[in-house]
Amino acid sequence: MQSQQPQNHQNLHTGIVPPQLNHGGHEMFDVHEVLAGAINTINTYTMLSGHVKDPELRDILQRQKQFMATEYNTTLECFKTGQDPAIPTQSYSMKQGNDFTYGMKPSQPQKPMQSVAEINDGMIALSMLNAVKSGAMIKTSAALEATNPVVRRVLADSLPNCIEMAYEISLYQNKHGYYQVPQLAEQDMQLMQNGYAPCPTQQQMPGTQGLH
């Protein structure tokens, strides 16, 4: 007697699934990591907010936290429905310029703090930066594994926001001496820059059009 196949097993063969179930196994696990990581980052920002002393850093923290909350809701909605979210992915814009100060200056060696009283704006900015960088890596992995086209696009579109936030924090760190950027000698930089040459490209054949 031939056993009956369950309905969901038949769906695997036909490839027809409702939008909310249009997710592969790897995608489910990776997006779970994205959402859990986003919650952890927002929670981290919330816990740190009470210790911030610099108004500039507090403004960065609050703006980034609000943006993350909206982006989390967008990701969650498309993950649960498999369809376009009501609020599409937005673009995060920082307020400050992008000029780094290069070079190293003598500073006190770093060490783990021994009490909460030692928390300062430098430590807070570093915690923010690490959280945003971690989110960028998780989202990259999830976007590469996503089979649902909407989820893949939302994750991919959110990556530039992670990069922009991390850049904003690192600029703040650099400006206040929390993050020093070493630089190679000019001669060494030029040698490395000149170590590569352009790749010859084949000219377009008459009557053909390039891919877009």
Tens-digit pLDDT profile for residues 71-130: 999 999 999 998 899 999 999 999 888 889 999 888 888 889 899 899 999 999 999 999
Quick check: 150 and 102 in contact, CB under 8 A?
A: no
Residue 20 confidence class, pLDDT cut points 50, 70, 90: low
Q: Please provide the distance, in angstroms rounded to a whole number, between the alpha carbons at the two ends of the chain.
A: 54
Q: For the chain, which domains are there?
A: 23-99+120-177 (1.20.1260.10)
Quick check: 79 and 105 in contact, CB under 8 A?
A: no
Residue 13 confidence class, pLDDT cut points 50, 70, 90: very low
Q: Is pLDDT above 80 for 19?
A: no
- What's residue 151's pLDDT? 92
Taking each helix axis from N to C terminus, what angle separates 121-145 and 25-49, rounded to the nearest 10 degrees? 170
Tens-digit pLDDT profile for residues 24-68: 777 888 999 999 999 999 999 999 999 999 999 999 999 999 999
- What's residue 203's pLDDT? 76
The per-residue DSSP string of 13-49 comes to HH----GGG---HHHHHHHHHHHHHHHHHHHHHHHHH
